[in-house]
Amino acid sequence: MQNKQAGARLIRIPTVNDARGSLVHIESQGVLPFDVKRTYFTHGMPEDAVRGGHAHRQCEEFLIAASGSFRVTLTDSAGEKTFILDDPSTGLYVPTMTWRVLDGYTKGAVCLVLSSLSYDERDYYRDFDPFEADLANAENPIR
């Protein structure tokens, strides 16, 4: 059965460029496959920082390198795939039941995250083994 979320994928974000710079605008309707409930961002990461190391049961997320670049490695029922985020006009959609590890931050990198749900620690898999055990029932292969 096709998963309604479909797989993790890069999504191009509408951007208005002019002589003053670029304006990137994101609306849930038409751009993202979910309604945004929460926004957070990480910054000030040392270049050897490793973040993530978790998956969500219900929460969907959209990751954007608002500044600089970093690497995102995803693991889902289809296996592992690595994305480099280095363009503020292209974000990475991360469905539920997808393990993510973020590293390779450049100096000054900012990771902006849009989430479908409010923060709830109970939504997290923080350990890989129980996540992997539940993956057999997930249907969101990376494309």
Q: Please give the residue ranges that form the binding site for ligand TYD (CB under 6 A).
A: 38, 40, 42, 51-52, 54, 119
Half-sphere exposure of residue 102, counting CA atoms within 13 Å on the CB side? 25
Nearer to ligand TYD, 18 or 129 (CB): 129
The dihedral sign for the CA sequence 31, 42, 116, 143:
positive
Nearer to ligand TYD, 66 or 139 (CB): 66
Residue 94 beta carbon to ligand TYD: minimum distance, rounded to whole angstroms: 11
Burial of 45 (0-12, 13-18, 19+ CB in 10 A): buried
Nearer to ligand TYD, 124 or 139 (CB): 124
Nearer to ligand TYD, 51 or 57 (CB): 51
Residue 119 beta carbon to ligand TYD: minimum distance, rounded to whole angstroms: 4
Residue 17 beta carbon to ligand TYD: minimum distance, rounded to whole angstroms: 30
